Structure 1
Amino acid sequence: MADTASFLPVSVIMPVYNAAATLQRAVASVFAQTRPPAEIILIDDGSSDGSWDVMRRLADEPGRPPVRLLRLDRNAGAAEARNAGWALASQEYVAFIDADDAWHPRKLEIQQGWLAAHPEVALCGHRVEVCREPPPATVLSEAVPVQMFDLRDFLIANRLSTPAVMLRRDLHERFASDKRYSEDYLLWMQIVAAHGPAGFIDLPLAFLFKARYGEEGLSGQLWNMQLGEIDTFSRLRRQSCIGLVTWLAVVVCSWFKFARRFVLRGMLEKR
């Protein structure tokens, strides 16, 4: 039996969509935490590749933190899947991870410890590394370097990758379930606008095994992500989180960065 006294008051939420090939790696990185979470919630978002069978097998592993399973009847998207898991969460803190990513073994220990020591902060993230193979567990400094990012910082760029985020469960904000792109960026800014700056731990506590903008069908993804980002800024404007002048500035800047990124990508593809 797992030592429940060592569990942290964290609900880990993982949406799963056709991730049978990577799910084991992601969940194993949660099992391997130096301070495991009190619960792991896996949400099958309408998979058709056998992910559900992998989820059931992982939930049956003995001596592990409790694994709760939820199966959606359709592919509703990551936002709705995360919200469904959030609604089931029973712990004080919620942490997100995707089914094709992984965590450093000390991620929860460090991040939950910092958030618990700073009750005025609602949202916290950390540095992530992009790699092709799981790196060996690195020895981290005992010092926890932290920056604080306010709404202005987020308007310049999304400062937090979803697998790096931990937040307080009782926040009333949620992912916009009608968005498939930039829904995380919108939520972080809504939380920061309502509750104050987010903490950023400058330690590599999560690993992404894909480029941030995807590796397959990149041009199409970039276009959809750009439209999603513009929609995010427009929603902030409608919700009175930002004024008209700020909205115009960030939209123009966003399109400029998109054009630059698209041109650079085209040059790389021609090599």
Structure 2
Amino acid sequence: MNPHHPPDSAAAPVSVVIPCYRCAGTIGAAVASVAAQTRRPAEVILVDDASGDDTLDALRAVAAAYRPGWVVVVASPANGGPSQARNLGWERATQPYIAFLDADDTWAPQKLALQMAALEADPGLALIAHRMAVRDRAAGPMPLRPPVRVTAIGRRRFLLNNPFPTASVVLRRDLPFRFNERFRRVEDFLLWAEIGFSGYRCAKLNQVLAYWHKPTFGAGGLTADLDAMHRAGRDVRHELLRRGLVTPAEHWFARSVGIVRRTRRRLLLAMRSRQAGEAS
């Protein structure tokens, strides 16, 4: 069987949405990790966020390498950030479930098979995610660590931090939410929180099934990045409070947790800066 031509009979009822911005060097590997799924999705939607370089040509070349129609390329008329790009892909999706992947990340082969098994066992779930890890591209996927468990993510968990990395999420296409296009940071957390605080059931697998191929925030972040992330988190908390999705008490609890996390990150950055200075 040609791996570039996944058969329809094996397809999971999932549309994979990948926002793309100047990603010609990584998009091929991202889509290849989708094609390598033990249970492949029905379609992949690549949304070029008005990159203005050769990205759109690269996306079309990737699409041409697979069965016609399996990879769909959408060109945004103007750069709107990842929220707009993901919403455009969501609008084009045809399947009951949507999965998200970023153009510089990859999936482990068992990802969709395990998530779809959990969704089929419990159709009341609105969203299911899993763990992620930073990993070198050449290292290959990590082995599973049995037993595979599904844990419900309740309301209180969303008050602590973002429990769902974007590339880990599979959700129902018919949910009455979208990414808030006013947010260009932590826009994913705002959406997951809206879903969870609105009473929809969410869960998480205890396995690492996707990978970042660059350090996550905090591994080498600057103070300016930290401040911007903190402001974005504050804006998300205010938005949830404004919409009545959290109580004032929950808002202040989450705010306190955010201040503690910001202080801890500042200390870590200061320690890394000092260690770098001593090593030079």
1:230-249 pair list within 5 angstroms: 230-249=234-253
- Structure 1 residues 130 and 2, CA gap change in structure 2 (3 angstroms): closer
Q: Distance in 1 between the 2:252 and 2:10 partners?
A: 49
- 1:97 corresponds in structure 2 to 101
2:268 is aligned to 264
What is the match of residue 159 of structure 1? 163
Q: Which letter does structure 2 place at the counterpart of 1:174?
A: R
- TM-superposed deviation, 1:134: 4.0
Cα distance in 1 between the residues matched to 2:155 and 2:186: 16
Matched, 1:74 2:84: no
Larger CA deviation: 246-255 vs 61-70: 61-70
1:183 corresponds to which of 181, 187, 190: 187
SS of structure 1 residue aligned to 2:164: coil
Counterpart-to-counterpart distance in 2, 1:214 and 1:64: 41
Letter in 2 for 1:234: H
Q: Stretches of 4+ moved more than 6 A in 1?
A: none
Please say if residues 38 and 65 of structure 1, whose CA atoms lie closer than 8 Å, have aligned partners that are also in contact: no
Encode CA deviations 1:26-69: one digit per residue, 9 max, x unaligned: 11101111111100000001113311111000111144771111
Distance 1:172 1:126 in 2: 22
- From 97, 107, 112, the equivalent of 2:111 is 107
**2:140 corresponds to:** 136
- Which amino acid in 2 is paired with 1:6? A
Q: How much does 1:175 deviate? A: 0.7
Native 8 Å contact 2:218 2:265 kept in 1: no
Cα contact 1:36–1:65 (8 A) shared by 2:
no
Q: Does the residue aligned with 1:195 lie in a helix, a strand or coil?
A: coil
Distance 2:256 2:147 in 1: 39
Structure 1 residues 36 and 163: CA distance shift in structure 2, 3 A:
same
Q: 1:67 to 1:132 in 2, by over 3 A?
A: same
Segments of 5+ residues of structure 1 without an aligned counterpart are: none
Contact 1:131–1:208 (8 Å) recurs in 2: yes
Structure 1 position 210, deviation (Å): 1.9
Q: Percent identity?
A: 36
Q: Write the deviation string for residues 106-149 of structure 1: whole angstroms up to 9, x where unpaired.
A: 11111112112211110110011112334323443564211111
1:116 is matched with which residue: 120, 128, 142?
Answer: 120
Alpha carbons of 1:142 and 1:9: their partners in 2 closer, same or farther (altered >3 Å)?
Answer: farther
Matched, 1:222 2:209: no
State the distance in 2 between where 1:142 and 1:91 align. 30
Change (3 A) 1:62 1:241: closer
Which is further off, 136-145 or 74-83?
136-145
Q: Secondary structure at the match of 2:159?
A: helix
Q: Where does the alignment leave 5 or more consecutive residues of structure 2 unmatched?
A: 276-280
Partner of 1:86: helix, strand, or coil?
A: helix
Checking the alignment, whether the CA contact within 8 Å between 1:43 and 1:72 is kept in structure 2 is yes
CA contact (8 A) 1:129 1:204 kept: yes
**Structure 2 match to 1:251:** 255
Q: 1:160 corresponds to which letter in structure 2?
A: F
Q: State the match for 2:210 in structure 1.
A: 206
1: CA distance between counterparts of 2:159 and 2:138?
A: 32
Letter in 2 for 1:130: V
Q: CA RMSD in A?
A: 1.7
SS at match of 2:44: strand
Q: Separation in 2 of the partners of 1:20 and 1:215?
A: 25
1:26 to 30, 35, 38: 30
Deviation at 1:25, TM superposition (A): 1.0
Preserved CA contact (<8 Å) 1:20 1:49: no
Give the Cα–Cα distance (whole angstroms) in 1 for the partners of residues 158 and 138 of structure 2: 29
Asked whether the 8 Å contact 1:121–1:195 carries over to 2, the reply is: no
Q: What is the aligned residue count?
A: 271
Q: Distance in 2 between matches of 1:195 and 1:119?
A: 15
